Amino acid sequence: MTIQAQLNKVALVTGGSRGIGAAIVRRLARDGSAVAFTYSASAQLARELVARIEADGGRALAIQADSADAVAVAGAVAATVQAYGRLDILVNNAGILTLAPIDSYPLEDFDRMLAVNVRAVFVAVQAALQHMRSGARIVTIGSIAAERVGFATSSVYSMTKAAVATLVRGMAIDLAPRGITVNNVQPGPTETDMNPADNPHSEAIMALLPLKRLGQPDDIAGMVAYLVGPEAGFVTGASLSIDGGYTA
């Protein structure tokens, strides 16, 4: 992907202040897009990311928005268009993970997981489509948990990611006549501040990975960069796993 290929594109990344989201924001900005991104509570990290991109000559806008709030999600789309005049790329990255056994899973946690991981995707896409033209790209960051639950206490999280994968397939069919592609990226175990390489479970996790390493946020960002670029114009409705062979 060259800067010229993405020059003058406008992207919105939800949950973009840290981890995988921040890597996606940095990559899209480096490839020439103006990038707006949402954050919920990480205001300092959001400011630092904007400053870093601007120092490198890019354009970035941080928008405070809790993805559990449908009005805030739609408002982030409107703020992006107001700032940059258009919207070409939407990356639904925001997500939460709450683990508990199914027999004691709190209903309020169930509802919030659905609101952030599934409903926010639907809301953001609906709002974005008011501004998108032929050639626009929509990417959702799902999880390999949609295909392999893997461990106890993750049933609800896995359900939300399977729902997103199915939603993406349906949206891809709906939006194909408009020339808009919709795809789902499914990371496996990835090293972030929420999942550091030295956490107590890393050794057991890496034993399940044929490549014997955790994924890096830039690995995921590279796939997103491909999907939003011109080379991926014939890719839609796909769920693409980046998991070091975990689901092979």
- Residues with catalytic roles: 157
Residue in the block written with tokens 């027999």 = 103
**Helix residue spans in 96-180 (DSSP H):** 107-114, 120-129, 155-175
Give the span between the Cα atoms of 25 and 221, in whole angstroms.
Answer: 8
3-state helix, strand, coil in the chain (%, to 5): 45, 15, 35
Burial 105-119 (b: 16+ CB within 10 A, else e): beeeebeebbbbbbb
Q: Please list, in sequence order, all residues whose beta carbon lies within 8 angstroms of the beta carbon of residue 121, skipping any fewer than 6 positions away.
A: 92, 140, 164, 167
Q: Please list, in sequence order, all residues whose beta carbon lies within 8 angstroms of the beta carbon of residue 216, skipping any fewer than 6 positions away.
A: 23, 190, 191
Give the span between the Cα atoms of 160 and 142, in whole angstroms.
Answer: 9
Say which DSSP state 135 is in.
Answer: T
**DSSP bridge partners of 137:** 89, 181
Give the span between the Cα atoms of 39 and 136, in whole angstroms.
Answer: 23
The three-state secondary structure class of 96 is coil
Torsion of CA 52, 53, 55, 60, to 10 degrees: -120
